[in-house]
Amino acid sequence: MIPSLIGGGLVGIYPGYKVYEYVWKDAAFCTSCHVHDYATVGWENSSHQRLTTCHDCHHQPLHEYVREMVVLLTKNPKFPKDLDHIPYIPDDLCQACHISNHQDLSTVTGPLDKEDIDKLHKVDKTKMHQLHFQHKTKLKLLGEFKIKKIDRMGDVAIIPSNEEGKERPITCSDCHGGPSNRAHNFSATDSACVRCHQDEHKKKIGKEFGCRNCHFQDFMIPTSKNPTK
Amino acid sequence: MIDLKTILEKKRNRIIIRVAGVIIGFLGSAFIIFQVLFLYRVLPHGGL
């Protein structure tokens, strides 16, 4: 019996690893239950699609997996109408790839190697990102906005207001999150700029060209190449 | 005198035990490997 157990055990290591790989690293596993077309399409069309998998960003404690199974069976949510808040992404998830020398890469399990992550654009080394990191805001966090049931039924995106709360550092989500139905599309929108900068360029130029036509490049220029510094 | 039926029965039992051992080992090892790797990923994010 014991040699058979050992033999079977050795053979079982490989399929065990493949099951883990499928569950943790393959988006096909997640999308087989999580039928949220708009979010899946958003991810497939984004720059993250070939570089990340679901678990690079979606983490939760162990007990949440059990709760999820219960919810799936008893009250399966239908998105986006059951999404009662604007998605809020904590900074550390973005920072794992997008700031230089980030210590905690344990969350990253997707196809990118550490050397590839090092080559990504690091926002703490760019002029305008750095400027925003140094400032604080009183705007409420995106996760604090509740979406009314009646608003969830329509196709119109819910744009977060400039309602104020406690002073806090500016987070990645403040600019790269935003309208409620843009799941997995993290490009900054003009509506995010206007939440803080509503008094700028009120005349024709602001209305006609928006914010990013002129200011986009300032978020990409490395600080070391900034002639004004 | 050794009964042929008994010999065959013993042989069959031995085969069943071996096959069962391989299957149990296979499933057990696959399950343990999966669990260890899965918990290694999940536990840093809030554990239980």
pLDDT single digits (tens) B1-48? 678 888 888 899 999 999 999 999 999 999 999 999 988 888 877 655
> How far is B31 from B48, CA to CA, in rounded Å?
19
pTM: 0.74
Q: How many CB atoms lie within 10 A of CB B22?
A: 20
Q: How far is CA A17 from CA A10, A52, A55, A65, B29, in A?
A: 12, 19, 16, 20, 10
Q: How many CB atoms lie within 10 A of CB A79?
A: 15
pLDDT of residue B30: 93
CA nearest A48: which of A186, A142, A172? Answer: A186
Below-50 pLDDT ranges, chain A: 229
> How far is B39 from A146, CA to CA, in rounded Å?
33
pLDDT of residue B33: 93
> How far is A189 from A210, CA to CA, in rounded Å?
9
Best probe of the A interface among B22, B27, B35, B36, by most A CBs < 10 A, is B22
Chain A residue with minimal CA distance to B37? Answer: A20
A12/B45 touch (CB, cutoff 8 Å), yes or no:
no
**Partner-chain residue, chosen from B17, B38, B42, that has the shortest CB–CB distance to A1:** B17
Chain B residue with minimal CA distance to A92? Answer: B45
Residues of B in contact with A67 (CB under 8 A): none
B37/A11 touch (CB, cutoff 8 Å), yes or no:
no
Nearest-Cα distance to chain B for A161, in Å, is: 31
Per residue in A70-120, pLDDT (tens digit) is: 988 888 777 667 777 777 888 888 888 898 877 777 777 777 888 888 888
> How far is A112 from A110, CA to CA, in rounded Å?
6
Nearest-Cα distance to chain B for A224, in Å, is: 35
Chain A residue with minimal CA distance to B28? Answer: A9
